[in-house]
A and B are shown apart, each in its own frame.
Chain A
Amino acid sequence: MSGHTEPHEPKNPPGVPARAKSRSGQKEAGASALAELCSVRVGQTLFGIPISHILEIVGGAHPQAVPLAPEFVGGLVHYRGDVLTTVSLRHLLGLPPHDGKQDILVLESAGGCFGLLVDSVGEVLRVPTSDHEPNPSILDERRRALFAGAFKLKDSLLVMLDPERLDPLRLAGMAA
């Protein structure tokens, strides 16, 4: 990753709120526009992923390791007749590997489908888009590249993930 803090994603300049709004824009009828998010937990943190990007949630999967694969690859899983490459969110966040079964979110990005390995999947939340805040400026660069701001929930923060930024191809490009 370069020393640049700004555009990592040419298509989505880091004006994160803009993107978040446009994503939840389908429901943007008035001031009370709601974003539909699926909450997942990795380590201590609660993350959110727009449900419009989620194809399916596969529970209790055991990915098959791929020797020599980039480190962020969590392995392969069998998904509807295809072999799906998964990305380990734990690894991306620098957390130790999880022992035991993890849940997989099957996500759709421009580059195709991939799986996101998370500790557990929570529930679907409807959050007013007005509660969204961009990434704080003190966030380290690595996380800034992955996160798309956060939603202020009543008692905690929900960190937004952008499936496009988690695409294995893009991660591989970043690692290079």
Chain B
Amino acid sequence: MDELTREFLIESQEGLDRMERCLTDLEGRPQDTDLLGEIFRSVHTIKGTTGFLGFKRLEKLAHAGENLLGLLRDGKLSANQSIITGLLQLMDGLRGILRTIETDSNEGHGEDGQLIGLLNELQIVEHSAVSVEVKAVKASGQAGALPLPTKPSAPPPQAIVEPVPPASPIDAKSNVEPAGDAGKPRPANAAADSTLRVDVMLLNRMMNLVGELVLTRNQILQATSQDPNLTLLSRRLDMVTADLRESVMKARMQPVSNVFSKFPRIIRDLSHTLHRKVRLELDGQETELDKSLLEAIKDPLTHAVRNSLDHGIEPPEVRIAAGKDPEGVLKLRAYQESSHVIIEVSDDGAGIAVEKVRNKAIERGLISAERAAQLVERELLQLIFLPGFSTAEAITNVSGRGVGMDVVRTNVEKIGGKVEIDSRPGRGTTLRLRIPLTLAIIPALIVRSLDQSFALPQGALSELVHVPPAKVASTIEWMEGTALYRLRGQLLPLIFLDRMLSPGLRGAENRERAEQDNFIAVLDADGRRFGLVVDGLADPEEIVVKPLSAVLKSIGLYSGATVLGSGDLALILDPGSIASRAGVAMISQEDRVEVVQEEDSQAAMGSQYLLVQSAERRAAVPLGDVLRIERIPLSRIEYIGYRPVLNFEGNLLPVEDSGGVLAAAGGNPDALLTVVVCREGNRQVGIAVVHVLDVAAGSELFEAGTQQRAGGVTLLNQQVTGIVDLGAVAPLLAGAMPDSYSTADWNQPTEILA
């Protein structure tokens, strides 16, 4: 049996074990989409991998199961007893075939027609009538009448022929193990024979103990530094400990070639199935990565590669027509970049058509049409990471169910990594996985707040800013209770660590701030940039990450704890959670999309604004909305009720004057004022201003979700400027009503009267 098959067997077993656990839980919580998602992924992965290994029978069965699970996951079906029974049988069926593969190296010739039939039937059952379901439930209650493949239909050992316990799903589950043992003599761990699979938990434990040893050593070194008799001994202890630590770390490191090496075959088979011509280029195979991380990126990488072949690289004829080499190139590249390993999957294929992404996302209800219209190209690309997204026209065996990129992102983020995507239409797509080197020991900056030490992972830290007491007032700007810092011309939202950790602290802190040193740690977490304000900085340290108990983990702000060299404990802050916690007020329904948007604040830069001067304030109007700028005498302004209007080329424009320009003109009919005529949806509105100052590129401030009105402000000529909300100008229909006067505001919360 080759390496690939062996790996596949082990992985599939693990997947099925997971599925089994989830299925049991599903009985109690049939609506739990996380569980359903997990089960779906297990089966999906088996189906996916089995495709290239050429196990047709297994693939067919898994495919049938996946169809059913897809409906469940999308909420089109709800899991009832008979479905769970069916799924457990699917699991047994898959197990049976896997066992046959393990013993005979082929999948046998069992007949799965009945089970597949059942799985197909279960998909319809719910749609048509409840009565069928009742029948199914009843049937599963009695042994004889079971319309399921419970009887061995063909001799091949154990393939599906495990008598499926006809009783309740729980029994079915509990009988799985004995059923497996019945297949004895079982080839003693045929698959796991040659390799020793060490439990990652054990490695973690070793790492923990080493960390502990390091700590004890530090303390011994301190305690013995005065005693010449012990110096030699303690120095020796020091060396041995350092050596041991390195060895344990090394034991966990493996070259990425362990993962890369399975791709040549996958690509060969896949390109055959998909009729593509693909050349695989591997680079940086010797790059080493922590074992557990390596395991964790296997799935995402497989999905990414599969996506590249299915959606990226075009069929040869299309490539020739486009003037490209008929043979596409898929590059897998790994390299180390400071404390991260970057793994790139790039192809020279068609790239991602952003319009298609937009339409699909709307069609699948992942995002509203209005929202989608606002997103720029890079933000649209991020949509492909949403669960359930797929642009594939048809669901194929290779991909198109919309799990691929979701799996990639979920798995990579689970291990503290990041996924970046870059695509050029016609030129290809690059997916970049940024993986931390190791999870057990990370470099961190120790910061002080609330008279306590906290560890801030260096990975997220981009720079530090010291704000001396004298400068606090001038450099930290406030906008409606939100603090901002101007970092090289860009507004950086600030989060005060002490305030966040101690909600009772709100009032008094501003004055205090001005009297002490402030340090801003500029963090970049999941693409959101913000400044974390702390009271003090201590040394950077290599910290050993210790897990927190469930109760403390559920606070959500800490990713662990660590013991500092001084012997003190410090909580490890999770920058990503801090960012999203601070933005909780704003991020509600379209949570993920919001995140996407914020990730790309850089890309959103450069929108043009018309800078206008109203009576007292400056304000910005999006240049794209401006139709004309009219200089008119005050006498041209007429009133309907209390609302000023302008007869402009035969149309009546509501004139927005919350800046108080009309009042400032003091009723002098000859006073000149400027009206900026803007387009707002299908109508036009006028904005009364004193004069137009400038046209400038505003830096849009999607400010990491700290405050609600982040979108209503921009940075123009180095000044924070409110953007006039054109949509908030009340339509004239309601205009005769006095209380609707001046509802549009300069960047204030507005109420629109319909």
Q: Which residues of A contact B (CB under 8 A)?
A: 64-70, 73, 76-78, 80-85, 111-112, 114, 168-169, 171-172
Contact = CB atoms under 8 A, between A and B. Distances in A.
Contacts of B503: 68
Q: Majority SS of interface residues in chain B?
A: mixed
Contact of B211 (A70, A81, A111, A114): A81
Given A67-B502, A83-B562, 18 more contacts: A66-B555, A67-B571, A68-B503, A68-B555, A68-B557, A76-B561, A77-B569, A78-B569, A80-B212, A81-B211, A83-B546, A84-B549, A85-B548, A85-B549, A168-B551, A169-B550, A169-B551, A172-B551
A82 B503 CA distance: 29
B734 interface: no
Contact of B549 (A64, A67, A78, A114): A114
B552 interface: yes
B452 A64 contact: yes
A77 B548 CA distance: 11
Interface of B: 208-209, 211-212, 450, 452, 501-503, 546-552, 554-555, 557-558, 560-563, 567-571
Nearest to B562: A83
Contacts of A81: 208-209, 211-212, 546
Contacts of A67: 450, 452, 501-502, 571
A68 B551 contact: no
Contacts of A68: 501-503, 555, 557
Contacts of B560: 83
Nearest to A173: B551
Contacts of A111: 550
B550 A69 contact: no
Contact of A73 (B552, B567, B570): B552
A83 B554 contact: no
Nearest to B209: A81
B447 to A, nearest CB: 13
18 contacts: A64-B570, A65-B452, A67-B502, A67-B571, A68-B503, A69-B551, A73-B552, A77-B569, A78-B567, A78-B569, A80-B212, A82-B208, A83-B548, A85-B548, A114-B549, A168-B549, A171-B551, A172-B551
Contacts of B211: 81
Contacts of B568: 64
Contacts of B571: 64, 66-67, 76
A83 B569 contact: yes
Nearest to B545: A83
A112 B547 CA distance: 13
A61 to B, nearest CB: 11
Contacts of A64: 452, 568-571
A78 B552 CA distance: 15
B262 to A, nearest CB: 36
Nearest to B571: A66
Nearest to A65: B452
Nearest to B560: A83
Of residues A66, A67, A70, A171, which shows the largest number of chain B Cβ atoms within 10 Å of its Cβ?
A: A67
Contacts of B209: 81
| Most chain B CB inside 10 Å of its own CB: which residue of A66, A84, A171 | A66
A83 B552 CA distance: 11
Contacts of A78: 563, 567, 569
A168 B553 CA distance: 12
A12 to B, nearest CB: 21
B452 A82 contact: no
B581 to A, nearest CB: 10
A67 B501 CA distance: 5
Contacts of A76: 552, 561, 569, 571
Nearest to A86: B549
B502 A66 contact: no
Contacts of A65: 452
B551 A85 contact: yes
B552 A69 contact: yes
B549 A112 contact: yes
B555 A69 contact: yes
A68 B562 CA distance: 18
Nearest to A114: B549
A77 B501 CA distance: 19
A102 B555 CA distance: 25
A165 to B, nearest CB: 15
A65 B554 CA distance: 16
Nearest to B502: A67
